Structure 1
């Protein structure tokens, strides 16, 4: 659950992190990651939103999402509750806890996406081929139906994917 007094308005963008209680894992096997991504789509069907970036690692979920007409709290609470129901049927019950930050500038928007895409490095996982992240959709033509890349890529000059990759990996890149 996310704090009840989170500022919300249509079009608000949030950096959201979810994590297991007591730093427990919230993903143990491939089917857990797949179930979560399936639930993202199920919740998005009922509560439309744009997912700009994501990364799922064993103990954390990172999302960069933009609301349309449903408050972010409703989206994340529903997503976490549904994942908790799935999870408790397979593993020890862990209700993901969530926190969010309102993104109020283009600079913060880009930095949040970069941070999300660098998250696998915290676990010593190489970025290039990490399967549970939207990073591949940004740096290659690998399709990813979960994420919308166009808004972030508009900040970069051509070739946009190459520029974004260089930005994430630490090069000084001029953005629009």
Structure 2
């Protein structure tokens, strides 16, 4: 009888810990990003080092203090891919990181596939937003845009 109680308490503790870890990874720590008007999305120009603000509408994003890699954002832009590639630095090794399922505007798999087929183009938003971390922006031909943080190529 005492063995059953011990086993049951171990199983219940493990289930509770598992549920807590899941909640911490998926929901805890994330906060909506408050984008300052006029500075929502920035890209680094081909000539120069200082990122410039681009036209971005309907910007929504999330971030967490627990890791610099948790930043994600979605937006739209009227700027064309042709204009962007002539003006801003292309980011060759872009790999979008998976966002929590509840942040449904950001689909890392779809963005990654589009980057590989050329449907979307990635740009350097800001180098070294944190130590070893770059902000990357991908823009689709229809104007949909996505931003995330990833390890810069020197850190990988």
TM-score, with length taken from structure 1: 0.23
Q: Which has the higher Rg, Structure 1 or Structure 2?
A: 2
Q: Which has the higher helix share?
A: 1
Compare relative contact order (CA 8 Å, sep 6+) and give the higher one, 1 or 2: 1
